[in-house]
C-alpha cells in the first residue's frame, strides 16, 4: 500500500514534480518539502490557472492538506511571506495548515549578496546558481553559525547574533569581493515584521510527522531540484547545496526509511538543465528549439532559457539506483508530438578512446559523448490523453523501451500542464 510517497526528480530539476505532487496530494493529509529553498520553482496549472510556488509545498493548493517545511529546507522569511500573500490573493488560505521546522536555517540578504558576489568573481567558471543565497545558507548550517527559524522567537538574541554574522560576511564581501557591506539593522528591520506572521507556524516538525504516521495519515514528500543537482551524487561542482536524492528525505525530516512506502522518480520525456555543468545529450539544433518552444523551457525561478537534450537513460538508470525508485512518472510526453524521430542515450563513449564507459567510471565529463538508439516519432497529438491505450503506438513503444532499460515500471504519464492531463498507469496509487 502506498501510504507515504516520495516524489523526486531524476534529472537536473524542472521535471514537472509540482504538478505530480499536487495530483498525488489530493488523497493525502500532509505534504512535506524536505530540502532546497526558494531556488525551486514548481509550476501548477489548475483549471487553466497557473500558480508558481518556490517554498510552499505544491500540495497546499488542496484545502484539506497540511503543509510542512521541514528542517532540511533553508527558509527565506521574506519570500515565504510573499508566497503566503500571493496564495491569499488567490483565495487559498494556509491558516493553521502550514508548519515550519524551528531547525530550518534562515536565508537572509547577506547570503544573497555573497551568492551573487561569488558568481561574479568566478566569471566564466561560474556555476550558474539561481542567485537566491542557497549555497551560503547551507554553508552556515554546516559551519554551525546559522540563524534558524526557531531563533526568530528570541528577538533580543536575534539582533546580537545578526550583528555578529553580518560582520563576518561583510569582511569577505568588502575585503575580498569588493562589494558594498550589508547593514544588519536593515536586515533586522525587514525581518521583524515577518515574525508575527510565521510565529505560530514554528514547530518541531519531526514530531508532527511522527504523530501523523502514528495516526496512519498519508504523507507526500515533495522533492526540489533533481538527482544530478545533489551535493553528493550530482555533477559536482555544478550542483545545488542540498541532498535532492532520497537521503534528503531522511535527514531533512527525521522520518526513517521504513515509513517511505513508495518512491516515485519524476522524469521528463527529454532532458533539460539550467545553469552550467555537464549535459551529455545537450542539443543545439532545431530539436532544441522544438523543446524550448513547445515545452516552454524557461526557468520558473530565474526566467533563464533551459538547455535541452534527448533523454539520457544512462544517468536515469543511475538515478533509479541511488534513489531506490519504485516507479517512474514520465512528464511532458506531449512535447515530443510532431518530431520525426526520437532518441534515447543508452550508453556513453569516451571521445578519445572510443571505449564505452559506465556512469561510475566518468572522471571527466568533457570526454563523454552519447550513444543513441533512434525510434520513430508520432504525428498525432498526445496532449491531454488520459488513457494508456489512446497513446500512439510509437509513444507506447518509446515508453516501453524506457521501462526495459530502467527495469522499473512507468506508473504515471503526464500529457499536458493541467492537473487533469494525466494517465494513471498504476491503479492502486490511491488505496
* Residues annotated as catalytic (active site), given as ranges: 14, 42
Closest contact distance (angstroms) between CB of 357 and ligand IMP is 24
Q: Which is nearer to ligand IMP, 148 or 268 (CB)?
A: 268
Q: Contact between 106 and ligand IMP (CB under 6 A)?
A: no
Closest contact distance (angstroms) between CB of 114 and ligand IMP is 11
Closest contact distance (angstroms) between CB of 242 and ligand IMP is 8
Query: Which residues from 210-229 bind ligand IMP, rule CB under 6 A?
Result: 224-225, 229
Closest contact distance (angstroms) between CB of 37 and ligand IMP is 8
Q: Which of 73, 182, 266, 274 binds ligand IMP (CB under 6 A)?
A: 274
Closest contact distance (angstroms) between CB of 20 and ligand IMP is 15
Q: Contact between 297 and ligand IMP (CB under 6 A)?
A: no
Closest contact distance (angstroms) between CB of 131 and ligand IMP is 7
Nearest-CB residue to ligand IMP? 275
Q: Which of 20, 134, 311, 342 binds ligand IMP (CB under 6 A)?
A: 134
Q: Which is nearer to ligand IMP, 37 or 254 (CB)?
A: 37
Q: Which of 4, 7, 14, 32 binds ligand IMP (CB under 6 A)?
A: 14
- Number of chain residues interacting with ligand IMP (CB under 6 A): 20
Q: Which of 72, 275, 327, 370 binds ligand IMP (CB under 6 A)?
A: 275
Q: Which of 4, 8, 11, 13 binds ligand IMP (CB under 6 A)?
A: 13
Choose the stretch contacting ligand IMP; rule: CB under 6 A; options: 16-24, 121-129, 254-262, 407-415: 121-129
SS (H, E, C) the chain: CCCCEEEEECCCCCCCHHHHHHHHHCCCCEEEECCECCCCCEEEEECCEEEEECCCCHHHHCCCCEEEECCCECECHHHHHHHHHHHHHCCCCCCCCEEEECCCEECCHHHHHHHHHHHHHHHHHCCCCCCCCHHHHHHHHHCCCCCEHHHHHCHHHHHHHHHHHHHHHHHHHHHHCCCCCCCHHHHHHHHHHHHHHHHHHEECHHHHHHHHHHCCCCEEEECCCCHHHCCCCCCCCCCCCCCCCCHHHHHHHCCCHHHCCEEEEEEECCEEECCCCCCCCECCCHHHHHHHHHCCCECCCCCCECEEECEEHHHHHHHHHHHCCCEEEEECHHHHCCCCEEEEEEEEEECCCCCEECHHHCCCHHHEEEEEEEEECCCCCCCCCCCHHHCCHHHHHHHHHHHHHHCCCEEEEECCCECCCEEECCCCCCC
Q: Contact between 19 and ligand IMP (CB under 6 A)?
A: no
Q: Which is nearer to ligand IMP, 42 or 343 (CB)?
A: 42
Q: Which is nearer to ligand IMP, 132 or 141 (CB)?
A: 132
What is the Cα–Cα distance from 252 to 156, expressed in whole angstroms?
Answer: 28
x/- mask, ligand IMP, residues 22-61, rule CB under 6 A, reads -----------------xxx--------------------
Closest contact distance (angstroms) between CB of 237 and ligand IMP is 9
Q: Contact between 135 and ligand IMP (CB under 6 A)?
A: yes
- Contacts with ligand IMP, residue ranges (CB under 6 A): 13-14, 39-41, 127-130, 132, 134-135, 224-225, 229, 238, 240-241, 274-275
Amino acid at each position: 500500500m502506498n501510504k507515504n510517497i516520495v516524489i523526486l526528480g531524476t534529472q537536473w530539476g524542472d521535471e514537472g514534480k509540482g504538478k505530480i505532487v499536487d495530483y498525488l496530494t489530493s488523497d493525502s493529509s500532509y505534504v512535506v518539502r524536505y530540502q532546497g529553498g526558494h531556488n525551486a520553482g514548481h509550476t501548477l496549472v489548475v483549471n487553466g490557472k497557473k500558480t508558481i510556488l518556490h517554498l510552499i509545498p505544491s500540495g497546499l493548493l488542496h484545502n484539506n492538506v497540511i503543509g510542512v517545511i521541514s528542517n532540511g529546507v533553508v527558509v527565506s522569511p521574506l519570500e515565504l511571506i510573499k508566497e503566503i500573500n500571493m496564495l491569499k490573493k488567490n483565495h487559498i488560505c494556509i491558516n493553521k495548515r502550514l508548519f515550519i521546522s524551528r531547525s530550518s536555517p534562515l536565508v537572509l540578504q547577506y547570503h544573497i549578496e555573497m551568492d551573487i558576489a561569488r558568481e561574479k568573481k568566478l566569471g566564466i567558471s561560474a556555476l550558474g546558481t539561481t542567485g537566491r543565497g542557497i549555497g551560503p545558507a547551507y554553508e552556515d548550517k554546516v559551519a554551525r553559525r546559522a540563524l534558524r527559524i526557531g531563533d526568530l522567537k528570541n528577538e533580543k538574541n536575534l539582533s546580537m547574533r545578526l550583528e555578529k554574522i553580518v560582520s563576518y560576511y561583510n569582511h569577505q564581501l568588502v575585503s575580498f569581493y569588493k562589494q558594498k557591506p550589508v547593514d544588519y539593522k536593515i536586515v533586522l528591520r525587514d525581518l521583524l515584521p515577518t515574525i508575527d506572521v510565521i510565529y505560530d507556524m514554528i514547530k518541531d516538525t519531526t514530531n508532527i510527522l511522527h504523530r501523523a504516521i502514528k495516526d496512519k495519515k498519508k504523507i507526500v514528500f515533495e522533492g526540489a531540484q533533481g538527482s544530478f543537482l545533489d551535493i553528493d551524487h550530482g555533477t559536482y561542482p555544478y550542483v545545488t547545496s542540498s541532498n535532492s536524492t532520497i537521503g534528503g528525505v531522511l535527514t531533512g525530516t527525521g522520518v526513517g526509511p521504513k515509513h517511505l512506502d513508495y518512491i516515485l522518480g519524476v522524469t521528463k520525456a527529454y532532458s533539460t538543465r539550467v545553469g552550467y555543468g555537464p549535459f551529455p545529450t545537450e542539443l543545439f539544433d532545431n530539436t532544441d528549439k522544438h523543446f524550448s518552444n513547445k515545452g516552454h523551457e524557461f526557468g520558473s525561478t530565474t526566467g533563464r532559457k533551459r538547455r535541452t537534450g534527448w533523454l539520457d537513460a544512462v544517468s536515469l538508470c543511475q538515478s533509479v539506483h541511488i534513489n531506490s525508485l519504485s516507479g517512474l512518472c514520465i512528464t511532458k510526453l506531449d512535447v515530443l508530438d510532431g518530431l520525426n524521430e526520437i532518441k534515447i542515450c543508452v550508453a556513453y563513449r569516451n571521445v578519445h578512446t572510443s571505449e564505452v564507459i559506465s556512469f561510475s567510471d566518468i572522471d571527466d565529463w568533457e570526454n563523454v559523448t552519447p550513444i543513441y538508439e533512434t525510434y520513430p516519432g508520432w504525428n498525432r497529438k498526445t496532449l491531454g490523453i488520459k488513457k494508456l491505450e489512446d497513446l500512439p503506438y510509437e509513444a507506447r513503444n518509446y515508453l516501453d523501451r524506457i521501462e526495459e532499460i530502467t527495469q522499473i515500471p512507468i506508473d504515471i504519464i503526464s500529457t499536458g500542464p493541467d492537473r487533469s492531463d494525466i494517465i494513471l498507469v498504476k491503479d492502486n496509487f490511491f488505496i
